[in-house]
Chains A and B, each alone.
Chain A
C-alpha cells in the first residue's frame, strides 16, 4: 500500500460531529507524528469514541478533514482503510471461529493471500501468547485471551495507524505487560491509544491529548503536562463532612510554597515543591482550625491532576 512521504501519520483538522443537539466533537484538530504513540484521554462522553468512529469511517463527520499518511479519508476511503487498524473497546470476535480461522479470515478481507494471511495469523498468535489456543473456538477463551485476540485482529493487515480503544480494560497484569511491550515494539506504526488509565497513558504515550466536551484541551508530552500542574508533589487531604466554613478559613491560611488546587468533594488538593517537609506545618494548621482529617495522600503529579486542573473534575466523573 503506497504511503505518502508526509510528516503526519494522521491529521485531523476542524473535525465536528453532532448527534442532534449534542455536539460530540467540536472543531477538533490534532496532528499525529509518524511512529508516535498518542494517548487520547478524556472522560466518558468527551468525544473519544466518536472521533475514533470518524477516523475509521464508521461515522460521518459534519465538518473537518482527516488525512491518513497524506490520503484524504473522505476521498480515498478505500485506501485509508488499509492503513488503519482498530481494536474496539468491546471484545469483537467471532466466537464460533477458532483464533486461527478468524485471523486468517480478516487477513484475507484485507487482501492478503491465503499463505500470507496464515503466516501473519501464526505470527500474531505467538506474539500475543495465543499460539497454544490457535485451534480453539474464540468463545471458549478466557476474558484476557479474548482481549488479546481482539488486539491481534486489529494488527493482521499490518496497519500504519493502529487505534487501540481502551485496550487494557479487562486484561490481567501479565497480559497488560505483554500488550504494552508488543505495542511499544511496533516501531513503524503510529498508535492512537484511547484510555481512562492515566498510568498506562503516561507509561506508553509519547504525547497525550486531553479532550473534554468534544474539544481538545491540551496536547503535549506527559512530562510537560505534569510539569504544568506545578512543581513537585501533590498532597491530598480527605476531611470529615460538615466542615465547609472551617475549610474556607483554612484555605486562606496556607503556608508559602503551597498552591491550592481546589476542594473536590471532601478532598483538598495542594501542590508544592517540598510538601513532605511542609506536612507537619499543614497538619498543625488543620488542627488549629479544628478541621478533622480522615486521610492524607502524598504523591507525584499525574495526568489525572492535569485533567483536574483543566476541568475541575476527575476523569471518571
Chain B
C-alpha cells in the first residue's frame, strides 16, 4: 500500500518534471541522429590513396579491383583516390583524409607478367603507409593486402601452399560504423538516468520533503523500490526511443527486443545504485548538475561506448581478464547490447555480462543505500 502510494507519487513527479524528463529521453536519440549524419548513414568505407608509379595495365586492373569491392548492401568499401606524389599522399594520412596509402612500384605490371611467363626476378615491394592511431588503418591494410595477394596469384598462377578464406560468424551482415555505435548510445540513454534517479532523491532533501517521508510509516526500502521502479520505467522508455530513432535511420537489430529489455532493466538498476551513491554525497539539485556530472562523464567516456579505450588489466579471473573499466556496469551493458543487437546473440551469449551487471548493481545499490540512509535517513 505504501509502496503503491510512493510509486504513484514518484512517477507523477518525474513525468511532470518535463524538462528533466525530455532531457533524459532525448539525449541519446539526439546523439543517434548526430552519429548517423556524421557517418552519412553509409556502410563503413576506407579511403585509399594509391601512388601508382607503374601505369601499366596490371596496376590499373589492381586499382580497379580495389574500387570494385562492395559490402553486403552493395555499397563501396574502398574509396580510391590517386596521387602522383608520395609525400602528398602521406600528408593525407596525417590530415586523416586517407586511411591507407598504397605505393605501387615502377615495373609492377611487367614484373607480374614476367612471373606469369615463368621468369623470375627480384621480389616486388608494394609499400603501404598508415597511422596506427587511425582505427580504420588496419582494416584498410587488411583489405588491400588480401586483394593484392589474390590478384598477384591470379596473374602469376601461383596460388601458394594455402588459401586464406575469411568466414563471417554471427549469421548477419557486417555492421557498419553507425551500427557499432548504437549499443553505446543505448547505454548512454541509461546513463542519463543518473540525473533523474539522483534528482528524485536529492530533490526531497533539497526541498525538505524528505522530513515528511521520514516521519511517516514509510521504510527506506519502500521508497527506494518506488524510485527504482520509476527509473527502470524511464530507462525502458529512453532505450525504446533511442532504438526507434536508430531504426528510423535504417538500423536493424539482429537479436530480440526482449533480450534488450532484460539488459535495460538490469542496467537501469545498476545506474540507480550509482545514483544513490551520488545522492548520498550531495545535498542540492545545484550540486547534482555541477559535481554530479563527474560520475556521469566517467560512465560516458570509460565504458567504451563512445570510443575504444585501451585495456588496463587489474587481475585475471580464470581465463577472463578483468580491466579497470569492468567496474562500470555500463561497460557490460554495451558489450551485452552489442552482442544481442549486432551479432544476434541471445541471453545465454551474454550471461557473463548479465552476471557482471547484476553483481555491480547489488554492490552499488548496497553501498548507495547504506551511504544515503546513514547520511540522510537516520536520526543523529
Contacts and interface: CB of A to CB of B under 8 A. Distances in A.
B15 to A, nearest CB: 9
Chain A: number of interface residues, binned into ranges: 20 to 34
A117 to B, nearest CB: 8
Contacts of A84: 215
A96 B21 CA distance: 14
A90 B208 CA distance: 8
B212 interface: yes
A153 B215 CA distance: 12
A93 B216 contact: no
A96 B1 contact: no
B142 interface: no
A86 B210 CA distance: 13
A104 B12 CA distance: 13
Contacts of B380: 59-60
A88 B217 contact: no
A56 B209 CA distance: 14
Interface stretch (A105-113, A214-222, A308-316): A105-113
Given A58-B211, A60-B379, A110 B217 contact: yes
B119 interface: no
A70 interface: no
Contact of B9 (A57, A95, A105): A105
Given A57-B379, A59-B379, A111-B2, A96 B17 contact: yes
B218 A109 contact: yes
Q: Is the interface of B mostly helix, strand, loop or mixed?
A: helix
A96 B16 contact: yes
Given A58-B379, A109-B5, A113-B1, A92 B214 contact: no
A81 interface: yes
Given A58-B379, A96-B16, A105 B5 contact: yes
Chain B: number of interface residues, binned into ranges: 20 to 34
Contacts of B215: 56-58, 81, 84, 86
Contacts of A57: 214-215, 379
A60 B377 CA distance: 12
Contact of B12 (A60, A81, A96): A96
B113 interface: no
A78 interface: yes
B13 interface: yes
Contacts of A137: 16
A202 B107 CA distance: 112
Given A57-B379, A60-B380, A94 B216 contact: no
A111 B8 CA distance: 15
Given A81-B215, A108-B1, A101 B9 contact: yes
A109 B217 contact: yes
A109 B208 CA distance: 17
A96 B379 contact: no
28 contacts: A57-B215, A58-B379, A60-B379, A81-B215, A82-B217, A84-B215, A90-B208, A92-B207, A94-B209, A95-B207, A96-B12, A96-B13, A96-B16, A102-B9, A105-B5, A105-B6, A105-B8, A105-B9, A109-B2, A109-B213, A109-B217, A109-B218, A110-B217, A111-B1, A111-B217, A113-B1, A137-B16, A153-B212
Given A60-B379, A97-B9, A109-B6, 6 more contacts: A59-B379, A88-B208, A88-B211, A105-B8, A109-B2, A110-B217
Interface of A: 56-60, 78, 81-82, 84, 86, 88, 90, 92-97, 101-102, 104-106, 108-111, 113, 137, 153
Interface of B: 1-2, 4-6, 8-9, 12-13, 16-17, 207-209, 211-218, 379-380
6 closest A-B pairs by beta carbon, nearest first, are A108-B5, A109-B216, A60-B379, A92-B208, A96-B16, A96-B13
